[in-house]
């Protein structure tokens, strides 16, 4: 049920007591609502079917069709009005039963105008949040999306365009971006939007496997190749034959294995550890790194020939702080993703929370935002609000009282100015997750000036 601010909100009052119906009608009209009444559940159901009621105030104890039966019928017939129950015989058990059947709230008779106004104000805010979430969901559907990646930013739209082109070919792709930006999701989108989508997608983190095991993991081994090789084993290249192998954190690959990987990319053949012959494989290789692989290659810390072979085409995933317009869509996406699993499918977000989230620089990128929403779902009931945010986020965007500036160590203006500069620099670096370029912008000084001050003040 959508609230239309250009018209008065319509309420249906259901109660078998005529005096109470009249009293509520007068009270609600004074509060600015349009009011319709019904004496029992059956009559109310007929009026509710015609629609137009944002809220329904319904008594629990009524003849013929009582409030609980009315709730069940509304649910089965898809009546979307927000229903608030009333009873002079209220109990905790009644309240719980009504909530389970779909009631939004529960008030006990007798009540006054202020109590009714407060309950309706809360219900209106809930409806507004639901409408905002419906709008975000529509925007998410209309925005660019690819697999589990959602975005409406221009920079990500360009990434999507390139993915759709690259998905059709076998070209090796190097995905670059900060930790948490979703590089594996990009790799999966490249695989599952192309002709290899029905073949295996195999992912391996090159930095998570010990060097002495990585060669066997990638290329396999034959029985007896080393002490624990009790049988032949297929490697990940063979597992991915016909499909895609995703090499995450490629910058961490040991130098000795870089040579062998280069040979596989050139010859499209692998040789198991301990084997005498090679075997042809048809594998598309996609790699990813959070480091500047080109700079590592130029410095001699990564094989330059392998870098050029991996970097036939490069995709750069922008950090979340450079596309903050995506934050509301991502929040909605993560609410849907985790809400059902956690038994909270109807949770909505407050407008204050969304405003706060787009002020935070997200040093951990999309992964940090997802963790933040998942944590919030654990803590919240119906609405994800500011109280659900982690302390680090609250402090960064000024929702908690900032630490006081230190007392000056002397009356020297020069010394005090230096002390203040140190503190402001530390705060700017903390707020930007250590990003010096963005910290310099916050401090309103040049990047070079910031570097000089970091050196002068011995700030790491």
Structure tokens at 55: 């809220």
Q: What is the pLDDT of residues 115-174, one digit of tens each?
A: 888 888 888 877 776 776 566 555 444 444 566 788 888 889 899 999 999 999 999 999
Pairing status of strand 348-349 against strand 244-248 = unpaired
- E strands in 64-111: 82-87, 105-108
For β-strands 313-316 and 348-349, DSSP reports them as unpaired
The pLDDT score that the predictor gives to residue 403 is 43
What pLDDT is recorded for position 91?
A: 63
Q: What is the mean pLDDT of the chain?
A: 85
Q: What is the mean pLDDT of residues 80-102?
A: 78
Dist CA 266 CA 169 (whole Å): 17
300-320 average pLDDT score:
96
pLDDT above 70 covers a percentage of the chain that reads 89
Where residue 66 falls among pLDDT bands split at 50, 70, 90? confident
How does DSSP assign 153-209, residue by residue? -HHHHHHHHHHHHHTTS---EEEE--TTS-HHHHHHHHHHTSTTTTS-EEEEETTTS
Run of H or E including 151 = strand 149-151
The first and second tokens of residue 64, run together, are: 């013929």
- pLDDT at position 401 over 70: no
User: What stretch of H or E contains 414?
Assistant: helix 413-431
Residue 360 has a CB neighbour count (10 Å cut-off) of 22
The reported pLDDT for the residue numbered 1 is 44
What are the C-alpha distances in Å from 336 to residues 75, 134, 353, 437? 22, 12, 17, 35
Backbone angles phi, psi at 201, to 5 degrees: -115, 115
Mean pLDDT score, 439-443? 82
pLDDT > 90: percent of the chain:
41
For residue range 183-228, list pLDDT tens digits in order: 999 999 999 999 999 999 999 999 999 888 899 999 999 898 888 7
Question: What sign does the CA torsion over 411, 460, 452, 441 have?
Answer: negative
Q: What is the pLDDT of residue 387?
A: 84
Mapping DSSP to helix (H, G, I), strand (E, B) and coil, where does residue 144 land? strand
Chain-centroid distance, C-alpha 438:
23
pLDDT for res 201: 94
Which domains are seen in the chain, by residue range?
10-139 (3.40.50.2300), 153-318 (3.40.50.300), 321-396 (1.10.8.60), 413-456 (1.10.10)
3-state DSSP assignment of residue 240:
coil
Q: Looking at the predicted structure, is the pLDDT value of residue 5 above 70?
A: no
Nearest in space to 102 (alpha carbons), one of 48, 149, 146 = 48
List all residues 6 or more positions away from 146 whose beta carbon is below 8 Å from its beta carbon.
Answer: 160, 163, 164, 189, 193
Q: Which is higher by pLDDT, 98 or 432?
A: 98
* Beta-bridge partner residues of 349: 384
DSSP state of 85: E
Q: What is the pLDDT of residues 223-258, one digit of tens each?
A: 988 887 888 889 999 999 999 999 999 999 999 999
pTM: 0.60
Burial of residue 68 (CB within 10 Å: 0-12, 13-18, 19+) is buried
DSSP per residue over 20-61, as a string? HHHHHHHHHHHTT-EEEEESSHHHHHHHHHH---SEEEEESS
Question: What integer pLDDT is reported at residue 144 of this predicted model?
Answer: 47
């Amino acid at each position: 049920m959508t609230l239309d601010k250009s018209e008065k909100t319509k309420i249906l009052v259901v109660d078998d007591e005529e005096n109470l119906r009249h009293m509520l009608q007068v009270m609600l009209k004074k509060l600015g609502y349009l009011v319709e009444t019904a004496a029992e559940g059956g009559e109310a159901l007929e009026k509710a079917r015609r629609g137009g009621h944002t809220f329904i105030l319904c008594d629990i104890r009524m003849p013929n069709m009582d409030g609980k039966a009315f709730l069940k019928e509304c649910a089965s017939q898809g009546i979307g009005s927000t229903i608030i129950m009333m009873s002079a015989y209220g109990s905790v058990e009644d309240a719980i039963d009504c909530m389970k059947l779909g009631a939004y709230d529960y008030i006990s008779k007798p009540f006054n105008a202020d109590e009714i106004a407060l309950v309706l104000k809360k219900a209106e805010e809930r409806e507004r949040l639901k409408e905002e979430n419906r709008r975000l969901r529509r925007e998410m559907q209309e925005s660019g999306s690819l697999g589990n990646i959602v975005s409406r930013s221009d920079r990500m739209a360009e990434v999507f365009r390139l993915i759709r082109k690259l998905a059709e070919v076998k070209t090796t792709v190097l995905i670059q971006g900060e930790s948490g930006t979703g590089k594996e999701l990009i790799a999966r989108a490249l695989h599952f939007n192309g002709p290899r989508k029905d073949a295996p997608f195999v992912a391996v983190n090159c930095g998570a496997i010990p060097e002495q095991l990585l060669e066997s993991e990638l290329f396999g081994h034959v029985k007896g190749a080393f002490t624990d090789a009790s049988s032949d084993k297929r490697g990940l290249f063979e597992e991915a034959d016909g499909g895609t192998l995703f090499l995450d954190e490629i910058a961490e690959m040991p130098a000795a294995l870089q040579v062998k990987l280069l040979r596989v990319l050139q010859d499209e053949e692998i040789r198991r550890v301990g084997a005498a012959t090679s075997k042809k494989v048809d594998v598309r290789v996609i790699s990813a790194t959070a480091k500047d692989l080109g700079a590592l290659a130029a410095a001699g810390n990564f094989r330059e020939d392998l870098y050029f072979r991996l970097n036939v085409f490069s995709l750069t995933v922008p950090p979340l702080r450079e596309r903050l317009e995506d934050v509301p869509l991502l929040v909605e996406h993560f609410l849907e993703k985790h809400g059902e699993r956690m038994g909270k499918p109807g949770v909505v977000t407050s407008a204050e929370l969304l405003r706060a989230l787009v002020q935070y620089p997200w040093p951990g990128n999309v992964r940090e935002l997802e963790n933040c929403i998942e944590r919030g779902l654990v803590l919240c009931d119906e609405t994800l609000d500011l109280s659900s945010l982690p302390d680090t986020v609250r402090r960064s965007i000024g929702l908690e009282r900032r630490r006081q500036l230190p007392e000056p160590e002397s009356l020297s203006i020069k010394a005090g100015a230096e002390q203040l500069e140190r503190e402001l620099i530390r705060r700017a670096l903390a707020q930007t997750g250590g990003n010096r370029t963005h910290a310099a912008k916050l401090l309103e000084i040049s990047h070079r000036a910031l570097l000089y001050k970091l050196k002068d003040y011995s700030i790491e």
